[in-house]
Structure 1
């Protein structure tokens, strides 16, 4: 990997590139804030349209700030895209005659599907020896596959990728049964929405920060760059 030549350790090289790919703290916050606001607004006000407007409004404010600062809007656009998908599921439920509670329940389905699909893709990439985090690094260095020639980087990227899999699996394991229970009628839809809202917050930032903390710990180790190097 060409970026390695500028760093003394494998971790330093990957840490720098991964930080850029994830957008840092600001990028992750911009991706999470609109969804958190939707959940909190629904739980406190019980008005679906208001919750959607608040989440969209927050994303648009963040977008304007980025445009004024002339910085990348990638992570805000990602949030708007997620809201758009949620809006589609909500109005699809409304078109089929679903109650407001059922519509709110539908808003959480894309997140569950996304986490499930993301976990499968990430796990598969590790199992075939091409961890997805490696491609995140490659997208920044300008060579999508050069990182794969260094076994140390591949091992490190595999560990980092598995750490991204864990939160996704936990979210699906916790949220899917509640969503299914609310949709099937075995659980009151309003109660299911409330539980999903709480789970989305509890398993959102706290869980993501825990995973990122573990990733940071891995990236603070010192593996000198070189074919025969071992971790310090």
Structure 2
């Protein structure tokens, strides 16, 4: 019986963008998970804060927060959509719960997130200072054949540097507000600050980035060998 060869399935082509600005906008949208990813990141924190305000019971607040994150994860799995952003939230809740239950202080639930932001901010600022702005690597992800091609164009490096500084600001603002609240043990205000200075501020930064990108049209062109 003759065997029919199966034609290989074509590999999905990488998205093609006409301008650097369009590529950066697309990568930012992908990185932040859109509106649903934003909600999934915020809801567990809102649940923890409201539960703490109502009951002042650490374990119950952590259980409710983790429970709502688990429900969001199940919804993702049932719908067969990427659970990445829910898993990130669930992982953060787990680490925060470990810190808080170990010390018995509710404010320690926010400590891992603050430490993570501090590390990320340090890396982001370092990348800008050494003239390899982190936004350039997001742009490079759109060119898998030569992901570092962007760095050979001074105009693109300048644009990525400007956008990177804008994206650094939300984390710096958040730490500036949260650190004094943490040291004062202000759990409720820590929760409010995490929500108010989290996605709203990042969305404001993204809007600013969008405005900057909308003003320019830096052509995507192959690097000169």
Q: If the TM-score is normalised by the length of the shorter chain, which range does it land in? A: 0.7 to 0.9
What is the TM-score normalised by the length of structure 1?
0.80
Structure showing the higher helix proportion among its residues: 1
Q: Tell me the SS of whatever aligns to 1:71.
A: coil
C-alpha distance after superposition, 1:80-136 (max 9, x if no partner): 111111011012203xxxxxxxx2011121122122222111111111111112223
| Distance change (3 Å), C-alpha of 1:43 and 1:144 | farther
Deviation above 6 Å: which 4+ runs of structure 1? none
| Distance change (3 Å), C-alpha of 1:66 and 1:9 | same
Flag the structure with larger Rg.
Answer: 2
Q: Which runs of 5+ in 1 are unaligned?
A: 95-102, 183-191, 228-232
| Distance change (3 Å), C-alpha of 1:125 and 1:60 | same
Q: Which residue of 2 aligns with 1:99?
A: none
Q: Which runs of 5+ in 2 are unaligned?
A: 1-12
Q: Which residue of 2 aligns with 1:113?
A: 115
1:81 aligns with 2:81: no
CA distance in 1 between partners of 2:74 and 2:99 (Å): 26
1:203 aligns with 2:197: yes
1:226 Cα deviation after fit: 5.7
1:3 Cα deviation after fit: 6.7
Q: Which residue of 2 aligns with 1:189?
A: none
CA distance in 1 between partners of 2:174 and 2:46 (Å): 15
CA distance in 2 between partners of 1:226 and 1:195 (Å): 45
Q: Which residue of 2 aligns with 1:159?
A: 162
Cα RMSD for the two superposed structures: 2.2
C-alpha distance after superposition, 1:175-201 (max 9, x if no partner): 11222233xxxxxxxxx2122222222
CA distance in 1 between partners of 2:37 and 2:148 (Å): 25
CA distance in 1 between partners of 2:86 and 2:179 (Å): 26
CA distance in 2 between partners of 1:127 and 1:61 (Å): 42
